[in-house]
Structure 1
Amino acid sequence: MKHFRNNPLIDESFRGENHFLVSAIQRTIITGMTMLVCCGWTVFLCLSVQAYENLALHKPAWQSSNLLTNSGAERAVDGQYTNLSFSGGQCAVSGPGLTTDAEQTAEWRVDLGGVRSIHHIVIRHVTGNRVLDENNFYTTWFMGFSVHISNTTNKEDGVLCFRDTNYTSATIPNPVNITCPYHGRYVIYYNNRTHAPYPEGYSNDAWIRLCEVEVYGCPSLGFYGKNCSLECPQNCQDGYCDSVEGTCIDCKSGYIGPRCNQECPVGFYGKNCVKNCSLTCIVPGSCDKVTGQCLGGCQAGWTGDICEKECSLGLYGANCLMNCSLTCGHPGKCDRVTGHCNGGCQHGWTGVKCEEGKRQAGQGSVVNKLTPKIIYIKHAHLSIQFLKK
């Protein structure tokens, strides 16, 4: 109410004349809707506030086997769990049937339809509609279960969210509430009985007995916090951040730090800033933090985005933009850095780049810096015309 009382848009005269409207404004501010009144117009501004949602509700689900026709995997995400009996039609149940032997492993999973930001998972097991304690034989099938978050249907590709190593028949809760601040597409429930002897209170078989699995998280990527109202840092990879703390799961290229707000140090670039900028950049070790592209181009003799390629035959200089002289002893072959001709010059040419023409005149030779204009063959004799510089 303090915000309302100090609102400069609503003066005391307005309050007195519009008591009921003011009361309505007070209520809407509390409930997340703001009403502004100006010049006879009434405007409602709805404040968008998200909250953790059950991301698994009515999503596609799968389990390793079915015991009854009305106990498929989808029963654990149908939103119904008033009947916690394995045959009540509201629970996912696996296990041996008429043609199926006892199972040593049991797996159930739900497809969230895409990578989602998960905060916590609530699991309701079958109880037979009785208290789940040491006197309830259903507890033996739940002991040792684990929960995984993965971007594929293979739990080994993801992260282990929870594994029971401490529950007993007397202490296992129902529901089980697991904090699991990860990103993933598939939530996988798994149990096994593969390494006998088993701990006290464990069944000999692994069965699915799930009445409901609720996966709570932010419905939209890029948000975190209790109400999913805070935006993830802008340099988080793909907008993924911890659903509680807002720390980035991973950083975009060129950034490091828990919130990815630190640029790569000088001389480094790329993912996690582990790549070194090229020493053949025009300024050694100076490059773009993201791509590694050299700033200002390459040193003489090098080319490529990160100056990783030597000049091709016939080219030299910075960024390999200069052509080797055709008057080199081996035409077009020169030092890729300086452009100095390899193998000397052709007859009649001199200079480190064979750029100076040599012409005989009378008793001596007169050297002029000349530029070839035309090279042609006439009557089997090579003639070269020059233009004076």
Structure 2
Amino acid sequence: MTGMVLLVCCGWTVLLCLSVQAYENLALHKPAWQNSTYRSYTGAERAVDGQYSNLHSRGGQCAASDLVQTTAEWRVDLGAVRSIHHIVIQYATGNIVWGENNLRTSTFLGFSVYISNTTNKEDGVLCFRDINYTRATIPNPVNISCPYHGRYVIYYNDRTHPPYPEWYSKYAWIELCEVEVYGCPSPGYYGENCSLECPQNCQDGYCDAVEGNCFGCTHRYIGPNCRDCPERLYGRNCLQHCSMTCGDPGKCDIMTGHCNGGCQVGWTGSMCEKGYHLTINDIHENVHVLKTP
């Protein structure tokens, strides 16, 4: 993010140009892997080395897969679970103008990005899948909003289920010159400068990097900010209703659901869920208790 500040002091006008990095590139120089490699100088780590002045896949600054592959998978290990805001992918251009006449557009089409806590993309969430771009419309670099948390960012493409649109390449390729993963370096924080703390009851301490909404809540809390359960509700995510046979109907412990103040006449159990048949003695006993000062 760039901005400009105009200062006027003692009759002098000073123009200052500021460059503010809203989020940190969490992928820079982190360990990377890909399922095949064209040559040693096109290894997976080339896509997170911070260098992409040469956008030829064989120029020594890009990760590139081997030839004639039906799947292309690349991933970076962020080192720990991180809160991600967005991902920028710079694809190889061959150092020629990007667009419909650039053959590399066909190898980029159809790609997906996953966020996972394991090296298996199926264990994670799908952040993005291209189903609409054509050779004329696919951008490069591409900027993907990805408000999730995870340890691994996985780029994936395949040509395993033909037929594909005629503008797709026959084989799947990795030609990644740089993958930048922006987000907060420490868990439990959000905001442009990652200076705001996530709500204290967020599950595992994680929240959305922009708004601070929790991805999930600890046992007794509910809502985007994980607050106490509303009255008459209890349990995980406050989805269960307190019993109306509680001594104080609808009032119970928000964690266990156990009734507060005992049960109504004719009911027993920690949640007053067990009904029993009242006898004359039961009725007399209850009347006697009610009359006792």
TM-score interval (norm. to shorter): 0.7 to 0.9
1:109 to 72, 75, 94: 75
Asked whether the equivalents of residues 86 and 128 of structure 1 are also in contact (C-alpha less than 8 Å), the reply is yes
Of structures 1 and 2, the larger Rg is shown by 1
- 1:281-300 to 2 correspondence within 5 Å? 285-295=250-260
Q: Deviations over 1:140-164 (max 9, x none)?
A: 1101111111222222222221111
Any conservation in 2 of the 1:224–1:232 contact (CA below 8 Å)?
A: yes
3-state SS of the aligned residue for 1:140? helix
Where do residues 5-84 of structure 1 align in structure 2 (5 Å cutoff)? 51-84=22-55
* Counterpart amino acid of residue 43 in structure 2: G
Query: What SS does the aligned partner of 1:162 have?
Result: strand
Q: What's the CA shift string for 1:358-385, capped at 9, x where partnerless?
A: xxxxxxxxxxxxxxxxxxxxxxxxxxxx
For the Cα contact (< 8 Å) 1:50–1:218, is it kept in 2?
no
Counterpart check, 1:269 vs 2:240: no
Q: State the distance in 1 between where 2:118 and 2:258 align.
A: 34
Q: Unpaired segments of 5 or more residues in structure 1?
A: 1-30, 32-48, 97-101, 310-339, 341-389
The residue number in structure 1 matching 2:95 is 129
Please point out which of 136, 147, 168 is paired with 1:181: 147
2: CA distance, partners of 1:280 / 1:64: 60
Counterpart AA for 1:289? I
**Counterpart contact for 1:253–1:269, Cα < 8 Å:** no
Q: How does 1:205-220 map to 2 (within 5 A)?
A: 205-220=171-186
SS of 1:70's equivalent in the other structure is helix
Q: Which residue does the alignment assign to 1:151?
A: 117
- SS at 1:241's partner residue? coil
Secondary structure of the 1:111 match is: strand
Partner of 2:160: 194
Matches within 5 A, 1:240-255: 240-255=206-221
Show the counterpart of 1:169.
135
Greater shift, 82-91 or 283-292, is seen at 283-292
Residue 266 of structure 1: CA displacement?
Answer: 3.1
Q: Is the 8 A contact 2:267 2:273 kept in 1?
A: no
Q: Give the aligned residue type for 1:84.
A: L
Cα offset for 1:184? 1.4
Unaligned runs of 5+ in 2: 1-17, 275-280, 282-293
**Matched letter for residue 264 of structure 1:** C
Structure-2 separation of matches of 1:190 and 1:157: 14
Q: Distance in 2 between matches of 1:167 and 1:275?
A: 44
Letter in 2 for 1:152: T
Residues 51, 292 of structure 1: alpha-carbon distance in 2 compared, 3 angstrom cutoff: farther
The TM-score with structure 1 as length reference comes to: 0.59
In the other structure, the counterpart of 1:118 is: 84
Q: Paired residues, what number?
A: 261
TM-score normalised by L of structure 2: 0.77
- Which amino acid is 1:271 matched to? R
Paired-residue identity, % = 71
